[in-house]
Amino acid sequence: MPPASIPQISPISLISLLYAMSMYAFYQQGFIGRATFITVAAVVLCFVVLFYCAFRFRLNARFGDQSLMLPQIIAALLIMLTVAYLERATQMALVPFVLIAFSFGIFRLSTASLILLLVGCLTAFLGIIVLHARAEGYGIEFRADLMQWFVLALTLPGMILVGKQIQNLHQLLKATRYQLEHYEEKSVRDELTGLYNRRQLQTELDRAKLQIDTLSIPFSICLIDIDRFKEINDNRGHLTGDTILKEFSRVARDSIRDTDILGRYGGDEFMLILPDTDLKGAVMHAERLRVYAHFLDFQKILPQKHISLSIGVAQYRQGEKINDLISRADAALYQAKQLGRNRVEWADAS
């Protein structure tokens, strides 16, 4: 969901409402007057409504940062700094709420924006302390305020630094996860064709066997061989052979169902695993694939312009070993070669 659709995650709403609640506690304890509390509550409500409307009516979509994070945090800081200036007693609440405000921006704002916010906030806070001291004197309260400012001046940069370190670690983790997924994908794919490799085909066969042994769902396999491919490689070169393999793989991948599994079994031989498919259905799939391959146009690289396929089909028998299934399909493929190629043969399912 785009940022424009999530006004409920507005930091100005959370920070300002929490701050207004703390001001109510100050009012109840007699630290600030009724008028001050009502004014703070009204200003907070206005900002909350303003940003809510910006998100609700998608006005934020006009800006580069649709979360409006920077203006929201600035608004929250302005409210707190203004109240701290008007009511000196509220300064004790300033530091924790400033830290909360910055915590929202650490992972969303640039380092430059955070530094500008940091400098602006600390400068404004120091100015408030000096103004209060000029009016009330430079006694113990002034020194206590300076210590409060000093603690904030140390804490904010440290928090930003830690946040950026966490952000960098998150980016590193994201990049590492991408690399692992990429390597995992490469480990199960044939580099030339992009189809599953032999190892992954074996995994898929074991999975299909487990399914049929437990749920009695049939599956069949097709062993597919490109006729006279060795002659093509020897006479026209390996680049021509690679082109044929890649083009056939593309057409074959586009012609099968989403549930079917196609892989390169080795050299010019491919395997098609057909879940929930009996022998008759598998033969129909194989015939369709044979026809599709025959109509591929290779006139630019082959004198005969076309290729043909020999395909052996076998249906899994309950309880048999995977190697026995492959052997039966391979025998059917050999028969198709012996009978003249460019045809589909199958092993008896019984």
Rounded mean pLDDT, 203-211: 90
Q: What is the mean pLDDT of residues 93-122?
A: 90
Which of the 8 DSSP states describes residue 167?
H
Among 268, 278, 297, 330, the active-site one is 268
CA distance 335 to 261: 24
Contact yes or no for 39/45 (Cβ under 8 A): no
Query: What letter does residue 346 receive in the DSSP assignment?
Result: E
Q: Are 84 and 90 in contact, with CB atoms under 8 Å apart?
A: yes
In the structure, what pLDDT confidence band is assigned to residue 2 with cuts at 50, 70 and 90?
very low
Phi–psi pair at 345, nearest 5 degrees: -125, 160
Give the model's pLDDT for residue 4: 40
Q: Please state the rounded mean pLDDT for residues 233-261.
A: 92
Per the listing, tokens 């399909």 go with 329
Q: What is the pTM assigned to this prediction? A: 0.54
Residues 6+ apart with CB under 8 A from 37: 23, 24, 26, 27
Q: At what angle do helices 140-188 and 91-105 cross, to 10 degrees?
A: 20
At residue 182, the pLDDT reads 64
**Rounded percentage of the chain residues whose pLDDT exceeds 70:** 94
Q: Is 348 a catalytic residue?
A: no
- Model confidence at 1: pLDDT above 70: no
Q: Which of 180-184, 210-214, 239-243 shows the lowest per-residue confidence on average (mean pLDDT)?
A: 180-184
Asked if 197 and 249 touch (Cβ cutoff 8 Å), the reply is: no
Mean pLDDT across 165-179:
82
pLDDT for 254 beyond 80 = yes
What is the amino acid identity at position 202? Q
User: Which residue would you say has higher pLDDT here, 184 or 135?
Assistant: 135
Angle at which helices 238-255 and 279-294 pack, to 10 degrees? 130
